[in-house]
Amino acid sequence: MNVLVINCGSSSLKYQLINSESEQVLAKGLCERIGIDGRLVYQLAGNDKEITETPMPTHKEAIQLVLDALVNEKTGAVKDLKEIDAVGHRVVHGGEKFASSVVLTEDVLAQIEECNDLAPLHNPANLIGIRACKELMPNVPMVGVFDTAFHQTMPSTAYLYGLPYEYYEKYKVRRYGFHGTSHSFVSKRAAEYLNLDLNNSKIIVAHLGNGASISAVKDGKCVDTSMGLTPLEGLVMGTRCGDIDPAIMEFIAKKENLDIEGVMNVLNKKSGVEGMSGVSSDFRDLQAAYEEGNERAIAAVEVFAYRVAKYIGSYVAAMNGVDAIAFTAGIGENVYFVRRIIMKYLGYLGIEVDDEANVATRGIEGIISTADSKVPVAVIPTNEELAICRETVALI
Ligand code: ADP
């Protein structure tokens, strides 16, 4: 079965066509600057990227261009659109309505729309992509896979805020968590890779990318995660501040003469390791600055790693133990010096870094703790598109 996986943002759209039996990517790419001018990137497996500047006034034209590219006589991945058997859509926020993936009926779309307030930047864009696909491929089954669904197993002790309870009742203000598709995929794969019984295991997954979150997965179910109502909570990220004293917002608003949007913009886009270091949000640049002795870059990296280590400690407490720790996403998979700083805090768990393995493990699966480390630490590359493909096949 061939599954088209779509991740639709407000002005961009990423896609992959995956064969579900071989789990091979047949073609992939993205549409950028939708509604502005338009740029299609298309790459047939084993070939170079093709880039075409072409108008895309709306998501519908963008998806039509993707479909045209996929069936193109010379460089298409399939001969006919009939060879696309299903579409799997990433949907950011499923609120409390969706604890698992779901076939996208009109009724379901209406329920997703009801979650728009919780993710005003993402959900409307996801819905536009879904509706455009439905128009262009009316007979192809479509599935929605939610970033929040995996975390719906969290107990209320983990998801309630210390706020007036009526805000939860009236507005569903609570912790939801994100990157759920990745936390689910990586925890399952970590159990497999480390020969653990997923249904009788305690795994901590550190998804460290530009957006970063960490989760505690007990017996295959999420019991806590670091992101909250929005992705701003938790770890220090590329440009997001993560946990701060909320009173800082009022303080900064007064000092810098900012309104609430202005403050939120600072917390989401101007903070994190970029705001701290003044260098970059990218750990390649940060590593160079760190090694040159740039004090702010050193502080940013150290704070980033310390926060991860503190969360790991709190999740060991939440699960009353831990059987394995898995690093994933851009930084977790590639940046050995940050993994080493984090792991140095974990000696009390009997964890020891295998320095050679840690340095050698980049973007591949591998164990980076020593053989006699009490808790194994592994790098497990995430693959959200493949996870969406598998969920889609399972549902249709
Ligand atoms: P997101 O999906 O949240 O945009 P990613 O998981 O792609 O993030 O991670 C992006 C970050 O990972 C980059 O900002 C960079 O800091 C880091 N990163 C990715 N690849 C590498 C690499 N090969 N070496 C060092 N850092 C990397």
Residue nearest to atom 20 of ligand 1 (CA): 330
Q: What is the pLDDT of residue 291?
A: 96
CB–CB of 381/361 below 8 Å? no
- Mean per-residue pLDDT for 280-289? 96
Backbone angles phi, psi at 311, to 5 degrees: -65, -40
Q: What's the alpha-carbon Rg for the chain, to the nearest Å?
A: 21
CA distances from 250 to 257, 270, 335 (A): 10, 17, 35
Q: Assess whether pLDDT exceeds 90 at residue 53.
A: yes
Q: Tell which atom from ligand 1 comes closest to the C-alpha of 238.
A: 14
Q: Assess whether pLDDT exceeds 90 at residue 121.
A: no
Per the prediction, the chain carries an average pLDDT of: 97
Mutate to test the pocket of ligand 1, among 334, 336, 337, 384 (most ligand atoms within 8 A of CB): 334
Q: What is the pLDDT of residue 378?
A: 98
Q: Which residues line the pocket of ligand 1, CB cutoff 6 A?
A: 209-211, 238, 281-284, 329-331, 334-335
Whose tokens are 């983990």? That residue is 158
Q: What is the pLDDT of residue 239?
A: 96
Ligand 1 centroid to residue 277 C-alpha, Å: 17
> Concatenated DSSP letters for 106-117?
HHHHHHHHHTGG
Strands 13-19 and 102-103: unpaired
- Mean per-residue pLDDT for 21-27? 97
Tokens representing 84 are 């696309």
Q: What is the pLDDT of residue 36?
A: 92
The pTM is what?
0.95
Our CA dihedral for 158, 161, 164, 170, rounded to 10 degrees, sits at -80
Q: What is the pLDDT of residue 283?
A: 96
Q: Tell which atom from ligand 1 comes closest to the C-alpha of 363.
A: 23
The answer to which of 47-56, 112-121, 272-281, 375-384 has the lowest mean pLDDT is 112-121
Strand ordering across the sheet containing 2-8: 50-53, 39-44, 24-32, 13-19, 2-8, 86-91, 142-146, 102-103
Residue nearest to atom 14 of ligand 1 (CA): 282
From 382, 294, 368, 380, select the one nearest 338 (Cα to Cα). 368
pLDDT confidence tier of residue 120, bands split at 50, 70 and 90: confident
Ligand 1 centroid to residue 208 C-alpha, Å: 8
Q: What is the pLDDT of residue 210?
A: 94
CA distances from 346 to 92, 115, 175, 240, 297 (A): 32, 38, 27, 25, 23
Q: Assess whether pLDDT exceeds 90 at residue 348.
A: yes
- Could you give the percent of the chain with pLDDT greater than 90? 98
Q: Assess whether pLDDT exceeds 90 at residue 68.
A: yes
Q: Assess whether pLDDT exceeds 90 at residue 9.
A: no
The beta strands (E) that lie in 172-314 are given as 202-208, 212-218, 221-225
- pLDDT of 369-395, one tens digit each? 999 999 999 999 999 999 999 999 999
SS3 of residue 162 by DSSP: coil
From 285, 385, 279, 294, select the one nearest 335 (Cα to Cα). 285
Residues taking part in catalysis: 147
Strands 50-53 and 39-44: antiparallel
CB–CB of 87/392 below 8 Å? yes
The beta strands (E) that lie in the chain are given as 2-8, 13-19, 24-32, 39-44, 50-53, 86-91, 102-103, 142-146, 202-208, 212-218, 221-225, 324-328, 366-367, 377-379
The beta strands (E) that lie in 307-384 are given as 324-328, 366-367, 377-379
Residue nearest to atom 19 of ligand 1 (CA): 330
- pLDDT of 213-251, one tens digit each? 999 999 999 999 999 999 999 999 999 999 999 999 999
- pLDDT of 148-179, one tens digit each? 999 999 999 999 999 999 999 999 999 999 99
Ligand 1 centroid to residue 74 C-alpha, Å: 33
Ligand 1 centroid to residue 329 C-alpha, Å: 7
Q: Tell which atom from ligand 1 comes closest to the C-alpha of 362.
A: 23
Q: What is the pLDDT of residue 10?
A: 84
Ligand 1 centroid to residue 209 C-alpha, Å: 5
Tokens representing 272 are 């994190």
Q: Tell which atom from ligand 1 comes closest to the C-alpha of 212.
A: 3
Report the alpha-carbon distance of residue 333 to residue 217 in Å, rounded: 19
